[in-house]
Amino acid sequence: MSLVQNLYRDYGDFKVDILEWELSDEGVTALWGPSGAGKTSVFQLLIGLEPCPGLKWEFQGQDLAALPMQERRLGIVFQSYEIFPPFTAQQNILFAAEVRKIDSERAGKHLRELAAILQLESCLSTQGALLSGGEKQRTALARALIGSPRFLLLDEPFSHLDQNLRASARQLVKQVIEKHKVPTLLITHDKGDLKALAQVVMKIENGRLVGSV
């Protein structure tokens, strides 16, 4: 297990207030709740996009919160995917490997593996601006995984997909997580995501954890 402590931020009219939270170090833990419950705020605080001075995140003997953001080795998929429009899908993915200073041979091998499992071979040379929603989602996932992250965090990764694409996208994500054995935190409001992916589900309301589901 990894242990998150003192996850607290006062936004004035809203607070995230989680004193202690155990996250599984295998499989998928989901943080589930309605819009406005604080899910995305928790996500941003954990990855370091917003300040959280008292935060501790003990994972395999290290306090991830004490490390500079670039050293935390977190794989991140944002709700909007954050694909660079002028870059090809391949360039988007390899950008993360360059930032992590992974040598080109290893990065290329990992890219080929991820492209195969995520069905990206046909669009690797397509500019980000021209990718479909599903292709952007899979490109973002490959980019998050190419650096062999300690922990994978997914913020509503299926919310921009058409309903008829979500089932296949969930199965692909499940397959990749199981293959790479990377512990994952899934942020979602969709019970379909929970059924397809989550082993543990924590519910959040008004910025506080209110129990498992």
Helix (H, G, I), strand (E, B) or coil at 159: coil
**Quick one: 142 and 156 in the same domain?**
no
**Quick one: 190 and 171 in the same domain?**
yes
80 located within any domain: no
pLDDT of residue 212: 83
Helix (H, G, I), strand (E, B) or coil at 86: coil
CA dihedral 166, 137, 175, 60 (to 10 degrees): -130
Q: Which of 100, 125, 149 lies at the terminal end of a domain, its last residue?
A: 149
pLDDT of residue 22: 95
Q: Which of 120, 149, 178 lies at the terminal end of a domain, its last residue?
A: 149
**Quick one: 24 and 53 in the same domain?**
yes
* Residue the block writes with tokens 């006062």: 10
78 located within any domain: no
**Quick one: 3 and 62 in the same domain?**
yes
Assign residue 52 the CATH number of its domain: 3.40.50.300
**Quick one: 1 and 68 in the same domain?**
yes
Tell me the three-class secondary structure of 43-55, residue by residue.
HHHHHCCCCCCCC
Query: Residue 106 belongs to what domain range?
Result: 85-149
Q: Which of 124, 149, 174 lies at the terminal end of a domain, its last residue?
A: 149
d(C-alpha 136, C-alpha 88), whole Å: 11
How many domains in the chain? Answer: 2
Sheet holding 62-63, edge to edge: 15-23, 2-10, 56-59, 62-63
Q: What is the pLDDT along the chain (213 residues), one digit of tens a residue?
A: 999 999 999 999 999 999 999 999 999 999 999 999 999 999 999 999 999 999 999 999 999 999 988 889 999 999 999 999 999 999 999 999 998 889 999 999 999 999 999 999 999 999 999 999 999 999 999 999 999 999 999 999 999 898 888 999 999 999 999 999 999 999 999 999 999 999 999 999 999 999 887
Ramachandran region, residue 108 (left: φ > 0; alpha: ψ -120 to 50; beta: rest): alpha
**Quick one: 160 and 132 in the same domain?**
no
